[in-house]
Amino acid sequence: MAERVMTREESIEYLLQRSQRRYEEFPIRQEFVRTRFRTEYGEPTAGPGPLSKLLRAPHALELLLLVYAVTTGGDFGVTERSQLWARAAGIYMRPDKGASVAVSRQWQHLEKLGLIERVQHGHLKRIVKRRESGGRIGGLTAPYTVPSGAANDVYFRVPFAYWRDEWHEKLGMPGKAVLLAAMSRRKETFTLPQDTRGALTLGLNRHTMARGIGELLDLQLLVKNGTDEVENALTPRGFEWVHTYQLAPPFNGNLSNSERERQKAEQLRQPG
């Protein structure tokens, strides 16, 4: 009689329960999606974050999101068997040593990006979360700290519903990338760059951006709600009309303080 093996869903739920997060959501700094820096002339600009380097590594992204969810304090590390990680990320379902090889390749990719660190912990590896920018200080990866929400430390929250409602399986990588980008905007209504230059600030090409938006619209996680005129120096008049969007539940909870104040002001202006 064959012995029972945990399913992918059971493996994910085990990790989510292990986190003991009260509100069943976890933070990710905005810099994971898009970094802000200054040019050599001191001008502020933006560029792609580490997310752009995971577009061809779907299993690595799934592992990283699970690590973000489960690590909550101490050294922000987690120690589990390779077989559990392999099942949870959908890499390898058999309970044998092949899981170690399959998962190790993904950890190695994340380690090279400076997003995790592997530490020997008995006969297992402890996965320690590092700063979402993948930045390095003196050649070492930047340690993780709880984001403060200050102007230079902005973050957004991803609900456990990403797994429990099976969006991790329903969405392809373009859809996942655009979903994270949309949540990172922290606005009720927002635009998504679909021109070549705008998409590149997220490390995406315009075709990937269009595919991701299409996925989210088809699955009704994204809703078109109007148009907005934005600056685009590449057009003849320097402006263009673009679609504006809203995220649907459960991914629409990321609002900045200024956005919440704007909503309150609008409610006060409504008659009756």
Residue 3 DSSP one-character state = P
> Could you tell me if 85 and 209 lie in one domain?
no
> Three-state DSSP class for 163?
helix
Quote the percentage of the chain above a pLDDT of 70: 90
Which pTM was predicted? 0.90
* pLDDT per residue as tens digits for the range 161-217: 999 999 999 999 999 999 999 999 999 999 888 766 667 778 888 899 999 999 999
Contact 15, 69 (CB under 8 A): yes
As for how many domains the chain has, the answer is 2
Q: How far apart are CA 15 and CA 100, in angstroms?
A: 18
Query: Is the pLDDT score of 39 beyond 60?
Result: no
Confidence (pLDDT) at 226 = 81
Count Cβ neighbours within 10 Å for each residue of 72-104 and write b for 16 or more, e otherwise.
beeebbbebebbbbbbbbbbbeebeeebbebbe
Question: What's the average model confidence in pLDDT over 137-165?
Answer: 92
> Could you tell me if 152 and 18 lie in one domain?
yes
How many residues are listed for the chain in this entry? 272
The confidence band for 47, taking pLDDT boundaries of 50, 70 and 90, is: confident
The domain boundary, picked from 111, 145, 165, lies at: 165
Question: What's the average model confidence in pLDDT over 138-159?
Answer: 91
> Could you tell me if 268 and 189 lie in one domain?
yes
Question: What's the average model confidence in pLDDT over 24-28?
Answer: 98
Confidence (pLDDT) at 259 = 83
The confidence band for 237, taking pLDDT boundaries of 50, 70 and 90, is: confident
Confidence (pLDDT) at 45 = 63
> Could you tell me if 230 and 183 lie in one domain?
yes
CA distances from 205 to 5, 32, 83, 247 (A): 40, 17, 35, 22
CA torsion angle 182 188 194 197 (round to 10): -80
* pLDDT per residue as tens digits for the range 59-108: 999 999 999 999 999 999 999 999 999 999 999 888 888 899 999 999 99
Question: What's the average model confidence in pLDDT over 232-250?
Answer: 80
Query: Is the pLDDT score of 13 beyond 90?
Result: yes
> Could you tell me if 209 and 141 lie in one domain?
no
> Could you tell me if 184 and 161 lie in one domain?
no
Contact 135, 114 (CB under 8 A): yes
Closest CA to 51 of 208, 190, 188, 250: 208
* pLDDT per residue as tens digits for the range 52-65: 999 999 999 999 99
The confidence band for 227, taking pLDDT boundaries of 50, 70 and 90, is: confident
Q: How far apart are CA 255 and CA 272, in angstroms?
A: 26
Contact 230, 159 (CB under 8 A): no
**178: containing domain:** 171-272
The domain boundary, picked from 139, 165, 191, lies at: 165
Closest CA to 254 of 29, 72, 31, 36: 29
Confidence (pLDDT) at 70 = 98
CA distances from 45 to 39, 42, 71, 123 (A): 7, 9, 31, 45
The tokens describing 236, both together, are: 């003849």
> Could you tell me if 8 and 120 lie in one domain?
yes
Crossing angle (nearest 10°) for helices 98-112 and 58-70: 80
Task: Give the per-residue SS3 of 42-64.
Answer: CCEEEEECHHHHHCCCHHHHHHH
Contact 116, 184 (CB under 8 A): no
> Could you tell me if 199 and 160 lie in one domain?
no
- Name the range with the highest mean pLDDT among 9-13, 91-95, 194-198, 236-240: 9-13
> Could you tell me if 7 and 130 lie in one domain?
yes
Cβ count near 236 (within 10 Å): 7
> Could you tell me if 154 and 271 lie in one domain?
no
Whichever domain contains 208, its CATH number is: 1.10.10
Question: What's the average model confidence in pLDDT over 221-235?
Answer: 78
The domain boundary, picked from 110, 138, 165, lies at: 165
Confidence (pLDDT) at 252 = 96
What is the end-to-end Cα distance of the chain in Å, rounded? 69
Quote the percentage of the chain above a pLDDT of 90: 67
Confidence (pLDDT) at 260 = 85
Contact 129, 64 (CB under 8 A): no
> Could you tell me if 149 and 192 lie in one domain?
no
> Could you tell me if 133 and 2 lie in one domain?
yes
> Three-state DSSP class for 8?
helix
